[in-house]
Amino acid sequence: MARFIEGPVTVSVPATSANLGPGFDSLGLALSLRDELTASVDGVGLEVRVEGAGSDEVPLDESHLVVRAMRCAFEQMHAAPTGLSLRCRNVVPHARGLGSSSAAIVGGIVLARALVAGGSLLMDDDAVFRLAAEMEGHPDNVAPAFHGGFVISGREAGEFYATSGSLDPRISAVVFIPPTPVSTEVARGLLPETVPHADAAANSGRAALLVASLASRPELLLRATRDYLHQDYRESAMPESLELVRRLRDAGHPAVVSGAGPTVLAFTDGPSRPLADWSPGPDSLVAQCPDGWTALHLDLETAGARVES
């Protein structure tokens, strides 16, 4: 039976944006907005405390997503704690397309591994990623949440895969977060079973261009972020988001729906340089924020989930 270390242990995990326009269910990016989870194995029973985003909505029992992820990881490591104390300090908004569920799943698994003596030997990074992807059902958010940076991921023959792509340090992002959520299930339910071949072909080209643009050609991001597969089909669930995407793109900003929405993400200049000719700049973007929404200028986060203490 596995042994536990003396806690507490703290893990932080980043927000993520998936799809990025044409990279439907395959491209994901970590952002510099991090949830923090602290846990210890002691006593008997379960204690869950939540601060910040979702604190008045999420359950405080075994059904809490972080707890479920921890239990699954403990089971894989043949560990069975008699008592568990968990504190979640949430910054990533819930049901907004910024990977809050992936942050909870990845954070819980990494936290459980850190609480078990020799946990990295009992559960390596590949096993962490596989379990997270299985729990989430698709890897496009959990991959950057765990690995950080820009990640291309997918599933083939029942096996999940992920590989990191390059990121140009000149790029950052502004996210526009609306006050009301849209569930992933609702957004996915609006997608058609098939799409025209011409749209699929155009989308493949844009997704390939997006990988190159994020690596070294940010001036091509406006063209590279054009989507043909999912955003327009979801308009009825988030009309304000699609209106904002079109308005920003018409003004020259590479804007997309973040994940399943309704948050809108627009690429802009990064912290390593002043305004560039490919982007009107973050200040100009933030000024476009609709009334009642929140605009945040975020770095592209190179670090994934990490043990802080």
- Residue 217 annotated as lining a ligand binding site: no
- Residue 100 annotated as lining a ligand binding site: yes
Residue 64 contacts by C-beta under 8 Å, 6 or more apart in sequence? 48, 50, 58, 86
What are the two backbone dihedrals, phi and then psi, of residue 61, each rounded to the nearest 5 degrees? -135, -160
Q: Is the pLDDT of residue 8 over 80?
A: yes
* CB-CB contact of 126 with 86 (8 Å): no
What length is written for the chain?
309
Distance CA 155, CA 140 (A): 10
User: Per-residue pLDDT tens for 208-240?
Assistant: 999 999 999 999 999 999 999 999 999 999 999
User: Helices marked H in 197-281 — which ranges?
Assistant: 197-216, 221-224, 239-250
Q: Is 129 helix (H, G, I), strand (E, B) or coil?
A: helix
Q: Which band of pLDDT confidence, cut at 50, 70 and 90, is reported for residue 275?
A: very low
Q: Is the pLDDT of residue 1 over 80?
A: no
- Residue 122 annotated as lining a ligand binding site: no
In percent, the amount of the chain with pLDDT more than 90 equals 85
- Residue 155 annotated as lining a ligand binding site: no
User: Per-residue pLDDT tens for 34-56?
Assistant: 999 999 998 899 999 999 998 99
Q: Is the pLDDT of residue 274 over 70?
A: no
Q: Is the pLDDT of residue 7 over 90?
A: no
- Residue 112 annotated as lining a ligand binding site: no
Q: Is the pLDDT of residue 283 over 90?
A: no
- Residue 94 annotated as lining a ligand binding site: yes
Which domains, from first to last, does the chain contain? 9-166+302-307 (3.30.230.10), 171-299 (3.30.70.890)
- Confidence (pLDDT) at 271: 67
- Confidence (pLDDT) at 272: 57
Distance CA 108, CA 201 (A): 38
- Output 284 or 229, whichever has higher pLDDT: 229
Tokens of residue 94, six digits: 């819930």
Mean pLDDT over the full length of the chain: 94
CA dihedral sign of residues 223, 210, 305, 87: positive
- Residue 93 annotated as lining a ligand binding site: yes
- Residue 222 annotated as lining a ligand binding site: no
Q: Looking at residues 96-109, what average pLDDT do you find?
A: 97
- Residue 188 annotated as lining a ligand binding site: no
- Residue 197 annotated as lining a ligand binding site: no
